[in-house]
Structure 1
Amino acid sequence: MNRRTLSLARLWLLLIPVLILPVFGCKKKVVEEKVVNVVTQAAESRRLRPFIESTGTLNPNEEIIMGAEIDGIVKSVKVDEGTIIKKGMLLATLDDTEYVHEAIRAKAALKQTEASLANTKMEFSRKDALFKEQLVTRQQYDDVFTRLTLAESEVDRARAALVIANQKLAKTRLYAPTASRVKEKKVAVGDFVKNGTPMVILIQPDPLKLRFSVPERDIGKIKVGQDVNVRVDAYAGRDFIGKVSIVFPSLEEKTRSLTVEALIPNTQDELKPGLFAKVLLYTGDLQDMVVVPVTALLYEGEKIRLFVIEGNTAKERPVKLGNKYGEFMEITQGLKAGEIVVVAGQQSLSEGAKVAAQKSQQNENNTPAAKDNREHK
């Protein structure tokens, strides 16, 4: 009896591990199938205009350096920095004493040569009549003809001298060639200036020129006449609209970018040359696009992917990208509007992982992409 009891006890000891192992195996399997907490948001279809983002600097439409055209001493300066200039307005004058006298001398010289020419003409008329009647020699006729030719040349020379003297006298007064504004006054009364010395720098602030760069990959989308949206920190929240006026013919070798110039109307004189500007260059008309938050994307070299949620399971999805719209990215291939994508927590996911999803609480109406959508409905 004791032997039988001992045998049964030994048998139970052998069976216990066999019975316990499946139970522990099941528990281990349950532990491995963990649930990942993630934040999700639906992919949206939005009607947007494709654009390229860049930055640039506002410059005057034209900058004119008004320099002295003759040597002289500055007699007066009629403008200061910021003065609004009309076309033909007097900017500055030089001492004209010397040039007035030179013009007077040139005028007197012209009168003298004209009087000499008149006398020579009268003499030539008499000798010509006498020569026809053979009352004077050929030499006498030729002498008076030569003096007449020289007298005419002297008159031409004197007239030219008077024109030059008057031009120099006129250049003592500096006039604005166009409507503009004074950027810088570079001389003061009493300064001696030489021909070519800058005296006043003028700028045309309306319209302003905006130069910015576009990456090499986007140059095929650029053309003259496209709309440009400009914002500056000085007027937060305000948009200034312009159009592309020049597309430069070659790329910058160092940056591999193309320079583009746009004209920005500035009729109210609110914008100032030199302001840093944020640029949106619109490259097309409104179109329907599928967009997701940029936080949803995972990058692995050239491969771009995201996770979509089907039921309570994560599915990996390779996608192709379009343009970036603020905090949103256009998906051109691999995703449909309405599908639920993971926007936070996807770094811990793998294909087929179980998830506990929580919807994003982000206020989408304040996002740049949504704002752009409102403005261009």
Structure 2
Amino acid sequence: MNKMDLDTMTSAAADEPKKKTFWTEIGRIAVICAPILVIVGVIALLFLMIATGPKPEEKQGNAHPPAVQFAVAHARPTTLSLSVQGEARPRNEASLAAQVGGRIVWVSPQFVEGGSFRQGDVLARVEDADYRLAVTRARSQVAQAEEGLAREQAEGELARQDWQALGRGEPPPLAVRAPQLAQAQAALAAAQASLRSAELDLARTSIRAPFAGRVRERRANVGDFVGPGAPVAVMFSTDTMEIRIPLTDADLASARIPVGFSATSANPGPVAHVSSVSGGRIQTWEGRLVRTEATVDARTRLVYGVVEVRDPFNARNAAPLAPGMFVAVRLEGSTRETLVAAPRSALKRNEFVYVVRPDNTIDVRQVRPAQTTADEVLFREGVADGERVVVSVLTSPRQGMAVTPIDRAGESTATPPAQQAPQEQLEIRR
């Protein structure tokens, strides 16, 4: 091997690492650029497809007005009614107390929880021996006072006769014992008052019912000692039961009842149908709204009315209306009036109605319904008989907005565009 060949081999061995480094760099650049080239290719392909793809045809004519369902409002004679709820409570409830002190020696068989009684019935008796003795002493004092008055009257008459026998004219009061006579008369009056007080205390040993009703709670029994003013029972009257019901401003306007209303002979108030479910059966009673409170609750903005049910424990009722019962009350209107009825879905946001005018445009009206139920809404004003009201959902309604009305059967009632008047076509295009 000559020197030239050796130099060639040495040069080739030195160039070999340089070649490996070059191709390594080329591979790294390819790995980095490949995803970029793919993304660029995809974007270029999308632009090419969009550029060469078919273009959508422009729709000729104006946009079709939105379709809405409508219902026809109808006027009919109606008696308005309000449905509310409340709790029954007695009109009179009292804590019966003993007026004199003593030991209870007798109670009536009706003196039990739920026992019924009439006004003036004796419910319990306090031992009266001491009070009988007080009456006897008072009578003795009255007799003594009467004897003293009679003696003073006789002595005064004798003194008058003696004075007149002397011929001295009209006698002075002291001469005829006038002050002593007045004192005897006052003593008799005081003795008589003491007697009446003793007799009254004796009568009060019998604890009587102040009104006809029933016992809610008994607090004393035979053998208990009670003092004056000590409660022995809690009772309530059964002649009338009251139901306090909440009324909104809309309810008052619907029933035409003012705040502070009080029933009179000329206006006895709306009839109230009271009902309650007991034992799986519906029990009913009849009453009337007799008054409304003269104030508005500052927290709830409600006015409370009072419904009276007379004789709720009468046997003619299927069941008694007892205190504490939660009942439903339906107030009937006093007169029939002609109102316009529409489906409940016609009332939007509780204050608007969309009326479809003859030219198939929307008339947005703010209304105040006379009554709203689960199925329909009644109007005194704002909606006329025979008008079409929108019952479907209408997005972004505007005054004068063109629509395609469809009745509930699904049949369009819009006038074909070719037959519309020029003004109607102009409104639709707008």
Q: Is the 2:86–2:245 Cα contact (8 Å) retained in structure 1?
A: yes
| Residues 334 and 219 of structure 1: CA distance in aligned 2, closer, same or farther (over 3 Å) | closer
Q: Is the 1:40–1:359 Cα contact (8 Å) retained in structure 2?
A: no
In the alignment, residue 391 of structure 2 is paired with which amino acid?
Answer: V
What secondary structure sits across from 1:234 in the alignment? strand
Q: Is the 1:228–1:279 Cα contact (8 Å) retained in structure 2?
A: no
Candidates 206, 210, 217, aligned match of 1:184 = 217
Distance (Å, rounded) in 2 between the aligned partners of 1:77 and 1:41: 70
Structure (1 or 2) with the larger CA radius of gyration = 2
* CA deviation after TM superposition for structure 1 residue 169, in Å: 0.7
**1:298-349 superposed Cα distances (whole Å, 9 cap, x missing partner):** 32xx862447699xx9964524241234212124324644747435xx2569
Candidates 297, 300, 308, aligned match of 1:252 = 297
| Residues 272 and 41 of structure 1: CA distance in aligned 2, closer, same or farther (over 3 Å) | farther
| Residues 20 and 335 of structure 1: CA distance in aligned 2, closer, same or farther (over 3 Å) | farther
* CA deviation after TM superposition for structure 1 residue 35, in Å: 9.1
More strand as a share of residues? 1
Any residues of structure 2 matched to 1:282-301 within 5 Å, and which?
282-299=332-349
Distance (Å, rounded) in 1 between the aligned partners of 2:195 and 2:274: 56
Matching of residue 261 in structure 1 with residue 306 in structure 2: yes
Matching of residue 161 in structure 1 with residue 209 in structure 2: no
Distance (Å, rounded) in 2 between the aligned partners of 1:46 and 1:228: 22
| Residues 147 and 314 of structure 1: CA distance in aligned 2, closer, same or farther (over 3 Å) | same
Please, which runs of 5 or more residues in structure 2 have no aligned partner? Answer: 1-50, 411-430
In terms of mean alpha carbon deviation, does 78-87 or 92-101 score higher?
78-87
Distance (Å, rounded) in 1 between the aligned partners of 2:60 and 2:371: 43
Number of the residue aligned with 1:72: 102
Distance (Å, rounded) in 2 between the aligned partners of 1:118 and 1:349: 105
Distance (Å, rounded) in 1 between the aligned partners of 2:166 and 2:235: 71
* CA deviation after TM superposition for structure 1 residue 270, in Å: 2.4
In terms of mean alpha carbon deviation, does 261-270 or 93-102 score higher?
261-270
Q: Is the 1:322–1:329 Cα contact (8 Å) retained in structure 2?
A: yes
Any residues of structure 2 matched to 1:35-50 within 5 Å, and which?
43-50=73-80
Number of the residue aligned with 1:226: 269
Higher relative contact order (CA 8 A, sep 6+): 1
| Residues 287 and 238 of structure 1: CA distance in aligned 2, closer, same or farther (over 3 Å) | farther
Number of the residue aligned with 1:115: 147
In the alignment, residue 136 of structure 2 is paired with which amino acid?
Answer: I
Matching of residue 333 in structure 1 with residue 382 in structure 2: yes
Number of the residue aligned with 1:323: 370
Distance (Å, rounded) in 1 between the aligned partners of 2:173 and 2:75: 105
In the alignment, residue 55 of structure 1 is paired with which amino acid?
Answer: Q
**1:246-276 superposed Cα distances (whole Å, 9 cap, x missing partner):** 2333323333332322322334362122222
What secondary structure sits across from 1:92 in the alignment? strand
Number of the residue aligned with 2:89: 59
Q: Is the 2:93–2:235 Cα contact (8 Å) retained in structure 1?
A: yes
In the alignment, residue 147 of structure 2 is paired with which amino acid?
Answer: A
In the alignment, residue 227 of structure 1 is paired with which amino acid?
Answer: P
**1:126-164 superposed Cα distances (whole Å, 9 cap, x missing partner):** 3433333349xx999748554433333222221111111
**1:202-232 superposed Cα distances (whole Å, 9 cap, x missing partner):** 3223332222232235546205323133333
In terms of mean alpha carbon deviation, does 191-200 or 231-240 score higher?
231-240
Distance (Å, rounded) in 2 between the aligned partners of 1:72 and 1:261: 41
Please, which runs of 5 or more residues in structure 1 have no aligned partner? Answer: 1-16, 361-377
Distance (Å, rounded) in 2 between the aligned partners of 1:140 and 1:326: 89
Matching of residue 85 in structure 1 with residue 110 in structure 2: no
Candidates 288, 295, 304, aligned match of 2:352 = 304
C-alpha root-mean-square deviation of aligned residues, in Å? 4.1
| Residues 298 and 170 of structure 1: CA distance in aligned 2, closer, same or farther (over 3 Å) | same
| Residues 277 and 317 of structure 1: CA distance in aligned 2, closer, same or farther (over 3 Å) | farther
In the alignment, residue 74 of structure 1 is paired with which amino acid?
Answer: I
Distance (Å, rounded) in 1 between the aligned partners of 2:347 and 2:121: 61
Candidates 223, 231, 236, aligned match of 1:198 = 231
**1:11-34 superposed Cα distances (whole Å, 9 cap, x missing partner):** xxxxxx99964xx426x789x979
TM superposition score normalised by structure 1: 0.71
Number of the residue aligned with 2:36: none
**Identical columns (%):** 20
* CA deviation after TM superposition for structure 1 residue 106, in Å: 1.0
Q: Is the 2:274–2:329 Cα contact (8 Å) retained in structure 1?
A: yes
**1:47-72 superposed Cα distances (whole Å, 9 cap, x missing partner):** 32234443322221322332222222
| Residues 356 and 121 of structure 1: CA distance in aligned 2, closer, same or farther (over 3 Å) | closer
Distance (Å, rounded) in 2 between the aligned partners of 1:25 and 1:166: 113
| Residues 336 and 126 of structure 1: CA distance in aligned 2, closer, same or farther (over 3 Å) | closer
In the alignment, residue 263 of structure 1 is paired with which amino acid?
Answer: E
Matching of residue 342 in structure 1 with residue 426 in structure 2: no
What secondary structure sits across from 1:189 in the alignment? coil
* CA deviation after TM superposition for structure 1 residue 101, in Å: 1.0
Distance (Å, rounded) in 1 between the aligned partners of 2:242 and 2:327: 11
| Residues 194 and 342 of structure 1: CA distance in aligned 2, closer, same or farther (over 3 Å) | same
| Residues 129 and 336 of structure 1: CA distance in aligned 2, closer, same or farther (over 3 Å) | closer
Tell me the matched-pair count.
332
In the alignment, residue 110 of structure 1 is paired with which amino acid?
Answer: V
Number of the residue aligned with 1:172: 205
Q: Is the 2:159–2:176 Cα contact (8 Å) retained in structure 1?
A: no
**1:269-310 superposed Cα distances (whole Å, 9 cap, x missing partner):** 6212222233333445222322233234332xx862447699
Number of the residue aligned with 1:9: none
| Residues 116 and 287 of structure 1: CA distance in aligned 2, closer, same or farther (over 3 Å) | closer
Q: Is the 1:230–1:279 Cα contact (8 Å) retained in structure 2?
A: yes
Q: Is the 2:123–2:207 Cα contact (8 Å) retained in structure 1?
A: yes
| Residues 149 and 237 of structure 1: CA distance in aligned 2, closer, same or farther (over 3 Å) | closer
